[in-house]
Amino acid sequence: MTAQQLFALTPGEPAGIGPDLCLLLARQAQPHALIAIASRELLAERANCLNLDIRLITVGPGNWPSAPAAAGSLFVWDTPLTAAVQPGQLDPANAAYVLETLTRAGQGCLDGHFAGMITAPVHKGVINQAGIAFSGHTEFLAELTHSEQVVMMLATHGLRVALVTTHLPLKDVAAAITAERLTRVSRILDHDLRSKFGIARPRILVCGLNPHAGEGGHLGREEIEVIEPTLELLRGEGIDLVGPLPADTLFTPKHLEHCDAVLAMYHDQGLPVLKYKGFGAAVNITLGLPIIRTSVDHGTALDLAGSGRIDSGSLQVALDTAYQMAAAGGKR
């Protein structure tokens, strides 16, 4: 087995459901060798809590597996905790542990050990409580990989939605829709659909910012002054962009049937539709990185940690997507 057939899996917040998800997935064999970068002790304790008989196999640099793990087994690159973990109880003492798992996974991808990384949810608040400035996986990995611009895209069966802006208050969105930002995001989206998904000529539908895409300027002029001129210039580069279109009618079958992705102007313009269509079976993908990174579409669910009342569907979709991206090429 080559290094390109190994995938890193980070369980995220140790008090959340991430460790549980990793163990539940290990009940079935995966098509590729999956390396959980986590505390072996934590996984053993959580397996006991869940009454799961999972064999934990220690691996690491110089001792990578030569084949996928059998059903009921999980490869673990042991990463020590700072403090003991109680399911559902956050502890800032383990913030550094969480970031170490991400660093090992991301650096392992950069170094060619892993073909991609799949992440379970972290808890941003408790990391910040530890005195560590942290705004999320996306920003952390962008800094680790020295990536100037990254793009958030969520996907489920039959729909991909990328965002021009992400976690901004609505009052700040219009000012953030600049020609420069829209150009960068569109180029990354087009490039990564080609290089990481194997789509020869991606067709991208672009939402307008305002109701009815501005109604010819009567409901806002951002479409006329920023969005339309920028899209026209990008079409001259060979990027297939359709729009700007009214968001309330763009997300209908007649439009979505003939596109490869939707580019939404802000978080709650595009993601409610995607999550309605595929919550629990959706994946979060970071574009613009020199590595493959996918994640679940949900949070840490602290109240469910250790309960056994969870669904691993989103994590399996994240795994399957990473495998598909690696097979399609997977690099910037």
> Does the annotation place 284 within a ligand binding site?
yes
> Does the annotation place 46 within a ligand binding site?
no
Which residues have C-beta within 8 Å of that of residue 300, sequence separation ≥ 6?
Answer: 12, 13, 15, 16, 17, 18, 121, 122, 123
> Does the annotation place 32 within a ligand binding site?
no
The sign of the torsion formed by the CA atoms of 222, 225, 227, 228 equals positive
Please state, in angstroms and rounded to a whole number, the distance separating the CA atoms of residues 234 and 241: 8
For residue 140, what are its two tokens? 């952390």
> Does the annotation place 157 within a ligand binding site?
no
Instruction: Name the residue with tokens 């309960």.
Output: 307
> Does the annotation place 191 within a ligand binding site?
no
DSSP 192-258: HHHHTT--SS-EEEEE-SSGGGGGGGTT-SHIIIIIHHHHHHHHTTT-EEEEEE-HHHHSSHHHHTT
3-state secondary structure of 324: helix
3-state secondary structure of 265: coil
Cβ atoms 216, 222 nearer than 8 A: no
Exposure class string for 259-271: b at 16+ Cβ within 10 A, else e: bbbbbbbbbebbb
> Does the annotation place 267 within a ligand binding site?
yes
> Does the annotation place 123 within a ligand binding site?
no
> Does the annotation place 293 within a ligand binding site?
yes
Q: Which residues are annotated as a binding site for a divalent metal cation?
A: 167, 212, 267
- Residues annotated in a binding site for substrate: 137-138, 275, 284, 293
Which positions make up the binding site?
137-138, 167, 212, 267, 275, 284, 293
